[in-house]
Structure 1
């Protein structure tokens, strides 16, 4: 299990969102408060951000723990952005992918993170992986479940799906193939944030100065943090947040909910 966070809003130093909060993502790398699976997020971290009007985000990723990277501390202190996605990766089985396995994954304007695990990986998704074009499989950044889930999402985005449908249909497809999976997904294009809850925690905060934070857990004790129910699709733009229920695979409610999203949660 990992922890992740996305933000869209007025420009802020990266460190004000990731490092400075008393229970921010930086501290969650060794002392998360709401993490149910795993305890130390020390097997890599990353941050992607949008700057200077460039629609394509920059990324900084490393294979080690965020607290050991002094270069990141300097970068986070001085770089400002109006949108970012950051993640710390749970301690897991060793592998050769190093920082390539650390979120955020990226393509074009998109940044993506997966907080969770695919049950029975990799055998459980062999059939699902076969639906992707061979070139997409060969282009995977890493040989882990999150990279494949990202490939499934990206294929839908490239086919013209909006972000909400791309995430929702990927979640239900993977959950049907591997029912015990935890699939909290996070996606941004620098203008909005789309996320799912499926097996773990997610919260959001409308910030008083404008903008919205979506995170695995609150980074401080502000009473305005709102918990997102499990099996929910979240879409945030500015301070508008829409929550739509996700149903288990095989039902018709998902299609109906995507066609008629709920009003913003208050």
Structure 2
């Protein structure tokens, strides 16, 4: 159910991250190596990136498969960025939302993606709808589980939570309401990446001087890729990666995070 990737580091052409590696996100759209649920991610794709001098990221999203979009091939060749979030989509349920349902979702400086599915959707999250302001419900980009999760995350961020706390508490809240859900979330503001591993694979690669990548699966066979344990919160900068176990408790009372060395 989807593959996604976030990058912070020196500016690179989008294609260097998303197309050129032997098992890049582009190839994962039809031949993922680690995907546990679903086989082909052809229900849309998107990429968001940050440009120097503009605090709001740009997005390019489409409803079809990434391999069928020749315009993306041109864009990926020439657009450079030091902060990127991209995803290829395998829809949980059929729908008519088209590219509006494709990640990344956005709000102000933020980009977001969800790899997984909410068990019992949509009825299972009915109890959480009442926690959202009416404006957030009326402005949902799509009628999907990912869009509603994004609204829950945004609501926490507007309440003062940092990126990691907003993801952690949202995952625990949704998992309680809909047991058996897969909730790998990915969020960035262009300076920090926050992600959760909950029911599907997540990896990270941190290279001194070359930045940090967080992805559903490695895009090459570099032995320095490290798998994130299931039910873990990851918070990363361009140089550091911190891992915190996601227990059945709130983020602010969780054990101290473990720092992963850059090797």
CA distance, structure 1, for counterparts of residue 103 and residue 32 of structure 2: 18
Which residue does the alignment assign to 1:256?
253
The range that moved more, 38-47 or 203-212, is 203-212
Mapped to 1, the partners of 2:225 and 2:260 lie a distance apart of: 15
SS at match of 1:263: strand
> Hey, what's the Cα distance between the residues in 1 that align with 2:146 and 2:162?
20
Which residue is equivalent to 1:226?
A: 226
Match of 1:74 in 2: 74
Unpaired runs of 5+ residues, structure 2, are none
Structural RMSD (CA):
1.2
Structure 1 residue 128, shift from structure 2 partner: 0.5
TM-score normalised by the chain length of structure 2 = 0.97
Unpaired runs of 5+ in structure 1? none
Rounded to whole Å, the distance in 1 between the matches of 2:253 and 2:136 is 30
- Closer/same/farther in 2, CA of residues 265 and 175 from structure 1, 3 Å limit: farther
Partner of 2:121: 121
Deviation at 1:208, TM superposition (A): 4.8
Map of 1:94 onto structure 2: 94
Residues 37-67 of structure 1: CA distance to partner in whole angstroms, max 9, x if unpaired? 0000000000000012211000000000000
Say if 2:8 and 2:238, in contact at 8 Å, map to a contact too.
yes
Residue number in structure 2 paired with 1:12: 12
Q: Determine if contact 1:40/1:91 at 8 Å carries over to the other structure.
A: no
Matched positions, count: 262
The CA distance in 1 between the partners of 2:259 and 2:225, in whole Å, is: 18
Q: Deviations 1:164-198 (Å, cap 9, x if unpaired)?
A: 10000000000000010000000000011000000
> How far did 1:95 drift?
1.3
